[in-house]
Structures are given as C-alpha cells and as structure tokens.
Amino acid sequence: MERWNGLSRRCLRVGKAGDAAWAEQENQGVWERVVVVFTGTYERTVDGKHRLGIPSDLRALLAGSAQDDARPVLYVTLGEGQALYLYTESGYEQRAQELLNTQADDQLLDFERLFFSTSSRVEMDKQGRVLLPELLLKWAKIGTDVVLLGANDHMELRDRDTWYTYLEQRLSEQHNQLVNPRRVLGLGPAPLRPD
C-alpha cells in the first residue's frame, strides 16, 4: 500500500496499555505514518507448544497496523540481556532500513548477520497468539512464566523471575532518576511553578 507523498508527516500515537506498531492512516487524502508506542508490563505464560498470547489491548493496536484484513505480523529476534524483542512488521522494516543507511564496517556486518539470522517472522493466530521459535526461547533462557514489556518501538519478552529481580535492583538504585527524569536528561531541576 504505497500511497506516500511529499506531504505525509510522522505522527505519534501512544497506546492505551502499550503496544508499539507502525500504521498508515489517511488524513484528508494524505497517508501518514503513525507510531504506536509500546508501554506496560504483562505477566504471560508460554504454553507447551511455545505459543504466547498477546494481551487484548495490544492485539487491538496491532490489528490496526496490519495491512488490509490480514492478521498482524511480528518479527521476533534476540534482544539484549536474555530477552526476545518483538517488532511489528513495519517496525522491523524500519530497523532494516536504518541498517542499510549506516556506513558498513566489520562490526555492523557482524551485527546484521546475527540480527537477521536470529529473526523470525510470526503471524498472530485467531486467538491472538504467536508461535515463538524454540531455538530463540532456548538462547534467551526463557521458560514458561514470562513478562511482556513495552519498550517504546518494540516489545520485550523476558523470564518473569529474572525480570522482577532486575527491576527490584534497578528501582532501588535509580529511584531518584525515575521520579526526576529532567536530572537524567541533564535539564536540571524542574522549574518552579508560579503561584
């Protein structure tokens, strides 16, 4: 569905509970790309057939990003720190395009080789589940009890116990940064509000 023109603009739409996807939306005859930001934490279970149920609010957002009436497609790849990353189809294509636009060197070529060879295209079934590749689950050391995390432009799938241990540690170390992001961004203290 290539109906882009020079007038298209990028818009940001934040999901209710947090699913990230790219979608095309027509606005007065102009097609624009809409970003849906993934947020939230969902406790899930990977069943014995390696299927992961996507939460209903995320499914609704993903359905909006699917082309025509097709079922939503996700790309699953190895992520940082024993995680699997789940990208929407257009989000994955954007990553691929960013890599194409980067000056190639040995390190980038090695990254591309690993990124693309460990990526898998999965289609959501009618029950809102995706079949996760067994090898990726094994490499990421992900078992049955998992968390699905919103991570801006993608979702992360992590082992539940490992995630909560990490989260507890990071929250105790970085509580002040979380409650005052201006300091983390180097913007100084929040301005005083006039009375």
pTM over 0.85: no
Residue 52 lies in a domain: yes
Dump strand ranges (E) for the chain. Answer: 10-14, 21-27, 30-37, 41-45, 51-53, 73-79, 83-88, 120-123, 129-131, 145-150, 155-159
Looking up residue 162, the CATH number of its domain turns out to be: 3.40.1550.20
Residue 15 lies in a domain: no
Say how many residues make up the chain: 195
Residue 25 lies in a domain: no
Enumerate the H helices of 7-105 as residue ranges. Answer: 56-65, 89-100
Residue 29 lies in a domain: no
Residue 28 lies in a domain: no
Question: Inter-axis angle of helices 89-100 and 106-117, to 10 degrees?
Answer: 160
Residue 190 lies in a domain: no
Task: Give the closest residue to 95 by CA, choosing from 153, 41, 177, 136.
Answer: 153
Provide the domain count of the chain: 1
Task: Tell me the average confidence (pLDDT) per consecutive run of 10 residues in the chain, 195 residues long.
Answer: 32 36 48 70 98 92 67 94 94 89 87 91 95 97 97 95 94 75 69 61
How far does Cα 53 stand from its chain's mean position? 15
How far apart (Å, rounded) are the C-alpha atoms in residues 123 and 131? 8
Residue 21 lies in a domain: no
Q: What is the pLDDT of residue 129?
A: 97
Instruction: Kindly state the DSSP code that residue 152 receives in the 8-state scheme.
Output: B
Q: What is the pLDDT of residue 13?
A: 38
Q: What is the pLDDT of residue 157?
A: 98
Can you give the residue range of the structural domain that contains 66? 39-179
Contacts of 130 (CB under 8 A, 6+ apart): 51, 52, 54, 74, 76, 86, 122, 123, 124
Q: What is the pLDDT of residue 61?
A: 78
Which CA distances in Å does 191 have to 161, 177, 180? Answer: 39, 16, 12
Strand, helix or coil for residue 175: helix
Residue 76 lies in a domain: yes
What region, left, alpha or beta, does residue 82 occupy, with left being phi > 0 and alpha being psi -120 to 50 degrees?
A: left
How far apart (Å, rounded) are the C-alpha atoms in residues 46 and 53? 8
